[in-house]
Amino acid sequence: MWFGQADSKLAKAVGGVGGDAAGDPAGGAAGGGRGDVAGGLGRRAAPGIADDSLERAAAGLAAYLLIPRRDAWAKALMAPGCFVAAACSTGHFGGWTRFVVLWLVLEVLINQARYQWNDIAGVDADQRHPEADARSRLPVGATPQARRRSIGLSWLTAAARILAALAVGWLTGLTGQVLVLVGAVFAIAGAYEWLRASGSRHWTSGRVVAVWLAVGLGYLVRGALGLSVGGLAWGSAAMVATLVCLGAFGIMFVLLTWALEATSYCTADGDSRWHARPELAAKPHLAALLRHLGEPPDADGLPPGAGRSCGGGRVLRGVGRSCAGDRVLRGGSRLFAPWNLALLAASASAGVSGAALARPHAVGMAAAAAWIVAGVAGLAGGVVLARRRSTRGRWAAAACWVLVVAAAGLVGRPGLPAVAGLPWLVVTGLYCTFCGWSYRDLVAASPGRQRLRRA
């Protein structure tokens, strides 16, 4: 509730203090209304409330402009992980200073500017999000003037970030590489925003799938930075397999996030039937994931709510609770659910990536055979994981199967056998974690976000 509304309601609730003569000016100054019974009390209360609200709003906007997406820390770790893996494989650690500069430019300047563009483009949808208060998105205030100011400042700081990135590149002699990073990030961002622009054209199943695939491209930029500076050749098997793995991993990561987020747009009634809020209609790329989820858990003690049937049924109005706290993936999902297909692709390529990064001594057909064995082992492990129906079963399967993937990597007679199973373990570890979470758990685990309110 914004301070003008709060003061107006306070003025009307106080009752007869100060009389009508004081009431009109007090109401006009404090609450934007008549304030015909508030008198001087409304006039005295307003400045403190207003100042406090303005300070909180200014602090929130300043924190956002400083680091728009504090919850993106996990993605930021991808490039360093790739650099370390590649450098261990090639023995080329000499480029670490160049990597650190480029990594900070990418994550602190370029990607944060890209996030600001995303938040500006989706500002209306973000404001209508059922859990908007808990999400770290652009705060725009309650008035048109505050909205224009916040958006303008966000555009200004985004442009300043890009200029700062170019300046760092020029000062460090890395202008060409910074330009490549800027071009790659914003070319991908432009394609993604064009696909998601709701007013441009009708959403088809092909467009939904295109959005799902586009989200993996940004992970390629992060991975390519770490792998290339770490010394991997662009045409090498390790480079190709790892980039394929990163793209599939990114798609899996985002689709699991979106599947959980889609539940926040739903309520459940007393018969455990799920109903979607009207806001979900504006996000078909989220709504399309709901049908791949298992049966929702039973609900009880439902507070008031309303919604539209997730299954396309008739409009219902009645009682319901938010589904954002439901761990809908814990009981498993269909093998061919979109995130499971991405898991299979990431698992297979992770097996090949691990075998190729482990400094194999096998060459020619022997090396190719080793990569095929590792890829099959990784794929089989992904199938086993996707078919588990409990959290413990998934973690147990991952812990056991990583040994199988690592053993498959030994076929290539690696110089670094410990590396062979690591890419597969990272992929499946994240999958197991997300399958045990609800959307509320996901948000609570993200730095810079508030814990979601219970509904």
326 vs 27: which has the higher pLDDT: 326
Nearest to 439 by CA among 167, 139, 131: 131
User: Token pair of 2, please?
Assistant: 């914004």
Please report which confidence band the pLDDT of residue 171 belongs to, taking 50, 70 and 90 as the band edges: very high
Q: pLDDT tens across 379-424, in order?
A: 999 999 999 999 999 999 999 999 999 999 999 999 999 899 999 9
What CATH number should be reported for the domain whose range is 69-232?
1.10.357
Nearest to 343 by CA among 406, 402, 429, 260: 429
In sequence order, the β-bridge partners of residue 199 are: none
Share of the chain above pLDDT 90, in %: 54
Do 46 and 7 meet the contact criterion of CB atoms below 8 Å apart?
A: yes
3-state secondary structure of 255: helix
Give me the residue spans of the domains in the chain.
3-62, 69-232, 265-322, 337-455
* pLDDT given for residue 245 in this prediction: 97
N- to C-terminal Cα distance for the chain? 18
- Count Cβ neighbours within 10 Å for each residue of 120-158 and write b for 16 or more, e otherwise: bebbeebeebbbeebbbbbbbbeeeebbeebbebbeebb
The DSSP code sequence of 90-123 is H---TTHHHHHHHHHIIIIIIHHHHHHHHHHHTH
Do 438 and 325 meet the contact criterion of CB atoms below 8 Å apart?
A: yes
* pLDDT given for residue 2 in this prediction: 37
Share of the chain above pLDDT 70, in %: 77
Mean pLDDT of 300-315: 37
Q: pLDDT tens across 32-84, in order?
A: 343 433 334 344 444 555 555 566 667 778 888 888 888 888 899 999 999 99
* pLDDT given for residue 134 in this prediction: 62
The DSSP code sequence of 74-92 is HHHTHHHHHHHHHHHHH--
Nearest to 356 by CA among 234, 236, 221: 236
Distance of CA 17 to the CA centre of its chain: 51
**At 319, which helix (H) or strand (E)?**
strand 315-319
Please report which confidence band the pLDDT of residue 20 belongs to, taking 50, 70 and 90 as the band edges: very low
Tell me the one-letter amino acid at 289: L
Indicate whether 129 pLDDT > 80: no
Mean pLDDT of 94-119: 95
User: Token pair of 252, please?
Assistant: 């899996």
Do 122 and 279 meet the contact criterion of CB atoms below 8 Å apart?
A: no
Which residues, including other chains, have CB under 8 Å from residue 170's CB and lie 6 or more apart? none
User: Token pair of 374, please?
Assistant: 């590792």
Q: CA angle 26-29-31, nearest 5°?
A: 90
Q: Over the Cα atoms of the chain, what is R_g?
A: 26
Half-sphere exposure of 194 (CA within 13 A, CB side): 8
Mean pLDDT of 419-437: 95
The lowest-confidence range among 214-223, 278-287, 305-314 is 305-314
Do 156 and 68 meet the contact criterion of CB atoms below 8 Å apart?
A: no
Q: In whole angstroms, what is the distance from residue 322 CA to residue 305 CA?
A: 8
123 vs 450: which has the higher pLDDT: 123
Indicate whether 226 pLDDT > 70: yes
Indicate whether 88 pLDDT > 70: yes
* pLDDT given for residue 7 in this prediction: 42
**At 370, which helix (H) or strand (E)?**
helix 365-386
* pLDDT given for residue 453 in this prediction: 41
Indicate whether 335 pLDDT > 90: yes
The lowest-confidence range among 2-16, 145-159, 307-321 is 2-16
SS (H, E, C) 419-431: HCCHHHHHHHHHH
Nearest to 266 by CA among 241, 230, 291, 245: 291
Cβ neighbours of 59 (radius 10 Å): 11
